[in-house]
Each structure stands twice: as C-alpha cells, then as structure tokens.
Amino acid sequence: MLGERKLLGLGFGGWLLNLTLAILIAFVVVLFAFQPVQVEGYSMMPHLQNRERLLIDKVSFGVQPLQRGDVVVFHYPLDPSQIFIKRIIGLPGDHLVIWDGTVYINGNKLIEPYVKKKFQDYADFSEVTVPPREYYVLGDHRNSSNDSRFWGCLPSKDIFGRAVFAYWPPADLGLIH
C-alpha cells in the first residue's frame, strides 16, 4: 500500500497540492507577463470592437523592439488615468506626412490593409519627424480616433503592453495583427 501511495503522488492530498501549485504558478505568470484589457470605443474598428477583451503582453515588448503595425496599449499622455489602444505607424526617426488620408513615411506610401475605406479620414496633417524614444500612433477607424494627429507623438515610457490576443467575444478569438 505504501508503494501505491508513492506512485500516486501521495494520494488525493498530493494531487490537490500539485493542482493548487500549478494554478498559482499560472496566475503569477499571467499576472506579470499578461494583462487583460477591454477596448473602450470605436477607434480601432473594424479589427477591434468596442468592449472586446484582449490580452496584452507586458514583457516581450520590453525585449523585442516595437514595430510599425504593432497594436499597443498606453497611458494617454494628456490624461495618464486613461488607457488608450492604437496602432504604431511611425517609428523613432521616421518623417511622416498624411496627405488626402494617405500616410507617407520617409517619402513612401504606407500600405495599410487594416484601414477600411469607409473609416479613412481624408484630411491632411502636418509633417512630423518622430523624436527618439517616441512613436506616432493612429486608430484604424481614422474618423473616430483621438491619436497622434491631434496630440503628437507618444513617448515610449507611456506604453505598457502590446496587444497579442483577443479572447472575448468568442467569435473574435485569435491573435491580433
């Protein structure tokens, strides 16, 4: 009987202890590496819907450099108590201009398959060179987005995660691109 107990990992109590430890470890990993957030508003439509729930990666964006097209979550520079989610368009050092609703970076037209024609804003915006350690961010729904066109470039210190996975509603389950 003693041999059986060892084989089973000390019976039900051992199984319960292992399960509890596994849940605790998973909780700690999720707590420090990922964070759930909810999309508030329509500025990222059609790819992210109002009230959609996402997981953001709080660790790898500090290791892997942010790239054009990444969807990031940050403290709104004009009111840090607000959380915004936008797409990185301009990287540090980029020269950017928006003419007739089209974004040009360093003289080249930016191809933006995530911006649907009906959500495009056809206004022109001043030229800007993105400063070091800052990013130019825009919402995918350009007509309904409070973004870098209005308040300037986003300091990297305000970014606290990269959106990686949508989990609610179930119909939108999947990786975020």
Q: Is 86 a catalytic residue?
A: yes
> Read out DSSP for 145-172?
--SHHHH-PEEGGGEEEEEEEEEESGGG
d(CA 37, CA 49): 12
Amino acid, res. 107: G
The reply to whether 145 belongs to the active site is: no
**Cα separation values, 161 from 31, 83, 167, Å:** 13, 11, 16
List 6, 58, 86, 144, catalytic entry: 86
The single residue of 6, 43, 116, 117 carrying the catalytic annotation is 43
Nearest to 92, CA basis, from 109, 67, 69, 112:
67
Residues annotated catalytic, as ranges: 43, 86
